[in-house]
Amino acid sequence: MDPALYRRRVEEAAAAIRETTTLDANIGLILGTGLGALADEIEAEASIAYDAIPHFPLSTVESHHGRLIAGRLDGVPVWAMQGRFHLYEGYGPKEITFPVRVLAALGVETLLISNAAGGMNTNFRRGDLMLVTDHINLQGANPLIGPNDDDWGPRFPDMSMPYDEGLRRLAEEAALEQAIKLQQGVYVAVEGPNLETRAEYRFLRGIGADAVGMSTVPEVIVARHMGLRCLAVSVITDECFPDALEPVSIADVLAAAAEAEPKLTALMRALVSGIV
Ligand code: HPA
């Protein structure tokens, strides 16, 4: 798509959202699979269904709600996306990252992301939280392909540290304070929607990843393109050890995400309060 048209759509979406609230927030939250309940903790000033926002994609995954919430979390103003978009839904990389451009247009400078991921590091257990230290993009797709909009960011954005060091330190401190076990590791993004074969898990572990999932990386690429500070936390929903692999259902994944939700909610709350 013509970059000028794409930018106009972003601006139209942001303008429509602006009509529903005067909230001034520079923190954005993307709430992933089964982790939407954090949204219930937000004192909402406005809650906008994605289908009411011009040009927004629609969430097709049952486990993802589709609304943008403007409100306060423990008094701190935030924008929260309850539900996100994935390549496996059939959307392109620019469509799934459209909301990140919109968040930036609304004034977001810090992006906190959660996701569900399969744990390949054998020190990880189902239900653990993992602070993402770095990522590998194996989706065969990139939201920055095509003409570059120089007003947003450079043609060749740096990726030497996609996950902000200060935010990670804050997360470590918050986890320690609240006695939440926080693993750390590299997240590899795949296209999905199927889970991996044993051979694929062995390969992904071998190239340096600790956890695997189907999201987050496109959003972080676009956020970094615009210079936003990023932090991501994965909930380890299944153990992906190739030599002891058990079948996993989406119900298992959602159940693990729901069980870990109180820990993630506590961590995110502490982070949001710590940023200000
Ligand atoms: N693979 C990919 N994505 C996932 C997994 C997995 O094992 N678990 C949760 N999301």
Mean pLDDT over residues 92-103, rounded? 97
- Has residue 65 got a pLDDT over 80? no
Supply the DSSP symbol for 53. S
- Has residue 77 got a pLDDT over 60? yes
How does pLDDT run across 30-46, given as a tens digit for each residue?
Answer: 998 767 788 889 999 99
- Has residue 64 got a pLDDT over 60? no
In this prediction, residue 33 carries a pLDDT of 74
Distance in angstroms between the alpha carbons of the first and the last residue of the chain: 37
Q: How confident is the model at residue 217 (pLDDT cuts 50, 70, 90)?
A: very high
Specify the residue with its C-alpha closest to ligand 1, atom 7.
Answer: 118
Specify the residue with its C-alpha closest to ligand 1, atom 6.
Answer: 118
Cβ 128 under 6 angstroms from ligand 1: no
Distance CA 101, CA 46 (A): 19
Cβ 214 under 6 angstroms from ligand 1: yes
Give CA 271 to chain center in angstroms: 15
How does pLDDT run across 130-184, given as a tens digit for each residue?
Answer: 999 999 999 999 999 999 999 999 999 999 999 999 999 999 999 999 999 999 9
In this prediction, residue 150 carries a pLDDT of 95
In this prediction, residue 81 carries a pLDDT of 95
Choose between 3 and 234: higher pLDDT. 234
How does pLDDT run across 254-271, given as a tens digit for each residue?
Answer: 899 888 999 999 999 999
Scanning the chain, the segments in alpha helix (DSSP H) are 3-18, 93-96, 98-105, 165-177, 198-206, 217-225, 250-275
Specify the residue with its C-alpha closest to ligand 1, atom 3.
Answer: 213
Q: How confident is the model at residue 276 (pLDDT cuts 50, 70, 90)?
A: low
Nearest to 143 by CA among 188, 187, 86, 193: 86
Tokens 């993004």 locate to 189
How does pLDDT run across 127-145, given as a tens digit for each residue?
Answer: 999 999 999 999 999 999 9
Give CA 87 to chain center in angstroms: 13
Cβ 78 under 6 angstroms from ligand 1: no
* Measured CA distances, 51 to 54, 70, 121 (Å): 7, 16, 39
* Measured CA distances, 21 to 45, 79, 80, 107 (Å): 7, 11, 13, 13
Cβ 237 under 6 angstroms from ligand 1: yes
Nearest to 96 by CA among 47, 35, 141: 141
In this prediction, residue 232 carries a pLDDT of 97
Cβ 48 under 6 angstroms from ligand 1: no
Domain residues for the domain of 239 are 3-275
Cβ 236 under 6 angstroms from ligand 1: no
- Between the CA of 199 and the centroid of ligand 1 the distance, in Å, is 14
Q: How many domains does the chain have?
A: 1
Please count the CA atoms within 13 angstroms of the CA of 99 that sit on its side-chain side. Answer: 32
* Measured CA distances, 227 to 104, 156, 158, 178 (Å): 10, 13, 10, 30
- Has residue 204 got a pLDDT over 90? yes
Length of the chain: 276
Cβ 118 under 6 angstroms from ligand 1: yes
Q: Percent of the chain, pLDDT > 90?
A: 87
- Summary mean pLDDT of the chain: 94
Cβ 96 under 6 angstroms from ligand 1: no
Distance CA 37, CA 31 (A): 9
Distance CA 121, CA 111 (A): 26
Q: How confident is the model at residue 59 (pLDDT cuts 50, 70, 90)?
A: low
Specify the residue with its C-alpha closest to ligand 1, atom 2.
Answer: 213
Q: Which atom number of ligand 1 is nearest to the Cα of residue 115?
A: 10
In this prediction, residue 3 carries a pLDDT of 87
Q: State the CATH number of the domain containing residue 78.
A: 3.40.50.1580
User: Lowest mean pLDDT: which of 54-58, 171-175, 213-217?
Assistant: 54-58
What is the per-residue burial (b if ≥16 Cβ within 10 Å, else e) of 22-37?
ebebbbbbbbbbbbbb
Q: pTM for the whole thing?
A: 0.95
Supply the DSSP symbol for 121. S
